Structure 1
């Protein structure tokens, strides 16, 4: 088991440390996270980090102005990391340990809609069905942010359109809006 430390790069929690205990998660470098949030300009409302890992995207969004944070991951060490990070940062995040279809079903069944959804699944996952599944969870003015391998194109999905497409090293970032 490795322990990776990351810093929150801006906002009310700037400089606070996050940890990742899982060998199975791929943490997003601060330069890429910074670029993503520069493309978003500002963050407010509710945020879902569906494949949270350490929660870096979610906690960064909270630091920059989000009011409600939902973090989900299936891997036990990722959940342990999320709980340690939440205990340290005290954001009031709801942390769940479900596969992504169950998590999406929970939000749909409880009519919980998001202003921002971060999708950074393991690269082995097909992003298309995940993206299609979360379209109904995004508020009319909300955004969905995906992180995929740079060799893959951002998919086309009914109900949303791609507004940003950027490559950073080995990663491609896509931002969608209704």
Structure 2
């Protein structure tokens, strides 16, 4: 199991290091993560990182002003990374280890809604059904941020407005608002 180190790039945890122990997940490049947060301008409210890996998106959101973060991943090495990073930052993140559909059902049953939902699933997953599945747990005016391969396009959705569609290297970033 290799260990990858990542840095938080802004806010109260700027320069702090995150670790990733998972070879099953791919981490977003610093430049892509920076571009995402530049497009968002500010982050406040409750955040869900549904395919969290090391939690880079969630911890960066917390560093930049989110009031609470929820991190989910089903891979044991990702959960180890999330717990280590949460402890190192003393972040009080809520960490769950569900398959993504079970995580969504869990948050629905708990009546937990989010202002920002980050979706960076494995490339083999189709993004459209995932976006549609999280809409019920997204607050009014909430945002969904997707990271997909650049060869794919951001899908059109009736319930959401596509605010941003940008390519950064090999990735495409889409930001939707409810």
| Interval containing the TM-score (normalised by the shorter chain) | over 0.9
Separation in structure 2 between the aligned mates of residue 130 and residue 142 of structure 1, nearest angstrom: 16
* 1:20 aligned partner: 20
Secondary structure, counterpart of 2:116 in structure 1: strand
1:150 maps to 150
CA shift, 1:160, in A, is 0.6
Q: Secondary structure at the match of 1:12?
A: helix
Which piece of structure 1 moves more, 136-145 or 39-48?
136-145
How well do the aligned residues superpose, as a CA RMSD in angstroms?
A: 0.6
Q: 3-state DSSP class of the match of 2:148?
A: strand
Q: Is 1:67 matched with 2:67?
A: yes
State the alpha-carbon separation in 2 of the partners of residues 141 and 90 from structure 1: 29
Please tell me whether residue 41 in structure 1 is matched to residue 41 in structure 2: yes
Aligned twin of 1:90: 90
Mapped pair 1:54 → 2:54:
yes
Q: Which range moves more in the overlay, 155-164 or 168-177?
A: 155-164
Shift of 1:158: 2.4
Q: Which runs of 5+ in 1 are unaligned?
A: none
1:141 alignment partner in structure 2: 141
Alignment partners' CA distance in 2, 1:32 and 1:134: 23
What is the CA deviation profile of residues 34-85 of structure 1, one whole-angstrom value per residue up to 9, with x for unaligned ones?
Answer: 1000000000010000000000000000000001110000000000000000
Match of 2:102 in 1: 102
TM-score (norm 2): 0.99
SS of 2:153 mapped into structure 1: coil
Q: Spell out, residue by residue over 1:132-168, the C-alpha distance to the aligned partner (whole angstroms, 9 max, x if none).
A: 0001111112100000000001112221111100001
